[in-house]
Structure 1
Amino acid sequence: MGTTLGPFAGLKAVFFDLDGTLVDSARDIHRSLAIALSDLCLRTVSEPQVRYWVGRGASRLIDCTIKSLGADPALHAPLLAQFMLRYQANVCVDSEVYDGVIHCLEYCQAQQLHLACITNKPLLPAKTLLSQLNLLRYFSLVLGGDSLDHRKPHPAPLLHALAYYDILPDQAVMIGDSRNDVEAAHASGMACVALSYGYNHGEPLQACAPDLLLDSLFELF
């Protein structure tokens, strides 16, 4: 089994990031965070701030929020718990699949490629989001930020997926939207396609040195 996906030949698997790559989820994350902040009688933060902070896991999002508000760091644990409670209940209200995603997944599936979703979002809301957007059916493996001891940019999740499918690094490609994805891919010996429309903490994606930088998944074809 092997095929060509754009410029990459001989692939057996494609690994996808979730937030900012497959799905624009920032509005739902912001809403849930705003409610959690209100629950704890804290000031809110803006959606642009949340778009800047997301992508490195829920705990990092809460870190950034607390620092922005100048709040007591001891609030991290209760705010994180309240955010996760609110988000799990409202994980897919305004979240949308990006243009080109379904076309790409359908193509990969038709080519009999293994598809994995590797995200820093906790596994339960990740699978709920994928399911509610009818994307879960495409993936034979989903790894969340709490699935293993390490998360991206550590290579462990990608290496785990390679071992799961019993393939070599040059037989897979990572598709993501941030430095986390590029660094995890390169540390595991894989190529990385970076997408310009996602969440990269205000940093130009070119600075991450991806193997290919695209504005849309349609450009792969």
Structure 2
Amino acid sequence: MKAVLFDLDGTLIDTAADFIRIIQDMCREESRAIVDADLIRTQVSEGARAMVKLVYPELEVDDPIFLAHRQRFLDLYGDDIAVDTDLFEGMYPLLEDLESHHIPWGIVTNKPRWLSESLLKALNLTERCAVLVCPEDVKHTKPDPEPMYLAAKQIDIAAEQCIYVGDHPRDIDAGRNAQMYTILAAYGYLPLQYKDDLKAWQADCIVHNVAELHQLVRKLVNI
């Protein structure tokens, strides 16, 4: 393996605390029942729509009122994108290890580019990240392999020589569809409906913390 690609939320960066803060504040502002933090965490990888739906379960997702709430959520998040957000514990040493051995690392995410770029800038990762592929860059997002192939092309490394790490079945499917070596990050924001049978995701390997991930990656890239 010659490169490591990550999903963003729940894999590389622990963003849940900021999402939890914003969703719970929205609940308080409208005197709604406070959504449990652990439940919000399971919906992070499903995107803004799924998290906002926890606050307004009675609204259809195409309802203009729901869309307005979703936009407000995104605006609040964009304004304070890294208040309580940081890399997962142990991830800084992993990235530094890759960089010191000239192994490129990058991100393939379904998070909108404006938010992804803002997040990387806030964490001083922009210059360190070799490639960032977002939904706006492709016609078909994960689980389609198109973004995976684009990332591999941009770093000039064959897809089958890339590792992809993710915490959602679509991440693993996208990696497998592109013939990448897939690692399931079981420390991430596993969706409720899929978390009880991780082997069914058919990842090449499962890791339960970043220390395990670091050890496995070192072996795979031969450092």
Report the TM-score range of the alignment, normalised by the length of the smaller protein. 0.7 to 0.9
User: 2:46 matched to which residue of 1?
Assistant: 56
Structure 2: stretches of 5+ with no match in the other structure: 216-223
Q: State TM-score, norm by structure 1.
A: 0.84
2:157 is aligned, of 167, 178, 193, to 167
Kept in 2: contact 1:196–1:214 (CA 8 A) = yes
TM-aligned CA deviation for residue 124 of structure 1: 1.6
Residue 65 and residue 147 in structure 1: after superposition, are their counterparts in 2 closer, same or farther (change >3 A)? farther
Establish whether residue 101 from structure 1 lines up as the match of residue 94 from structure 2. no
Tell me the matched-pair count.
208
Establish whether residue 158 from structure 1 lines up as the match of residue 148 from structure 2. yes
Structure 2 counterparts to residues 1-221 of structure 1, below 5 A? 11-36=1-26, 41=30, 43=32, 44-63=34-53, 65-66=55-56, 69-73=57-61, 74=63, 75-202=65-192, 203-204=195-196, 205-219=198-212, 220-221=214-215
Structure 2 letter corresponding to 1:169: A
Residue 64 and residue 208 in structure 1: after superposition, are their counterparts in 2 closer, same or farther (change >3 A)? farther
- Matched residue SS, 1:138: coil
Structure 1 letter corresponding to 2:9: D
Residue 38 and residue 81 in structure 1: after superposition, are their counterparts in 2 closer, same or farther (change >3 A)? farther
Structure 1 residue ranges (4+ consecutive) displaced by more than 3 angstroms after TM superposition: 34-39, 59-66
- Matched residue SS, 1:54: helix
* 1:183-208 alpha-carbon deviations (Å, 9 max, x no partner): 11001111111121101112133221
Residue 116 and residue 62 in structure 1: after superposition, are their counterparts in 2 closer, same or farther (change >3 A)? same
Structure with greater strand percent: 1
User: 2:220 matched to which residue of 1?
Assistant: none
Kept in 1: contact 2:130–2:155 (CA 8 A) = no
Kept in 1: contact 2:35–2:54 (CA 8 A) = no
Residue 107 and residue 207 in structure 1: after superposition, are their counterparts in 2 closer, same or farther (change >3 A)? same
- Matched residue SS, 2:83: coil
Structure 2 letter corresponding to 1:121: K
Structure 1 letter corresponding to 2:184: A
Kept in 2: contact 1:16–1:116 (CA 8 A) = yes
- Provide the C-alpha distance between the structure 2 equivalents of 1:147 and 1:173, rounded to a whole number of angstroms: 20
Kept in 2: contact 1:57–1:122 (CA 8 A) = no
Kept in 2: contact 1:57–1:145 (CA 8 A) = no
Kept in 1: contact 2:53–2:59 (CA 8 A) = no
Q: State TM-score, norm by structure 2.
A: 0.83
Kept in 2: contact 1:58–1:122 (CA 8 A) = no
RMSD between superposed Cα atoms in Å: 2.1
- Matched residue SS, 2:200: helix
Residue 120 and residue 64 in structure 1: after superposition, are their counterparts in 2 closer, same or farther (change >3 A)? farther
What fraction of aligned residue pairs are identical, expressed as a percent?
27
TM-aligned CA deviation for residue 87 of structure 1: 0.4
Kept in 2: contact 1:14–1:173 (CA 8 A) = yes
